[in-house]
Amino acid sequence: MTCDNAPESIAGPLLTWYDRVRAPLPWRLDPSPYRVWLSEIMLQQTQVETVIPYFERFLAAYPSVAELAAAPLDDVLKRWEGLGYYARARNLHRAARQVVNDLGGRFPDTVEGLMNLPGIGRYTAGAIASIAFGRRAPLVDGNVIRVFARLMDFDADVTTSAAQAQMWRWAEDWLPADRPGDFNQALMEPGRRVCTPKSPRCADCPLRPICRAAEHGTQAIRPVKKKAAPRPHYHVAAGVIRRADGRLLIAQRPLDGMLGGLWEFPGGKQEAGETLEACLMRELREELDIGVIVGEQARGGGSRFHPFLDHAARVRVCLSR
User: Pairing state of beta strands 233-242 and 248-249?
Assistant: antiparallel
- Calculate ∠ Cα 177-180-185, nearest 5°: 155
Tell me the Ramachandran region of residue 70: left when phi exceeds 0, alpha when psi lies from -120 to 50, beta otherwise: alpha
Buried-state track 233-265, b at ≥16 Cβ within 10 A, e below 16: eeebbbbbbeeeeeeebeeeeeeeeeeebbeeb
Q: Is 40 in the active site?
A: yes
CA atoms lying within 13 Å on the CB side of residue 314: 8
What DSSP letter does each residue of 203-245 carry, written as one string? GG-TTGGG-HHHHHT-GGG-SB-PPPPPPPEEEEEEEEEE-TT
Helix/strand/coil percent split, the chain, to 5: 45, 10, 40
Of the residues 40, 81, 215, 274, only one is catalytic, namely 40
- Calculate ∠ Cα 235-290-81, nearest 5°: 55
Q: Mind telling me the catalytic residues?
A: 40
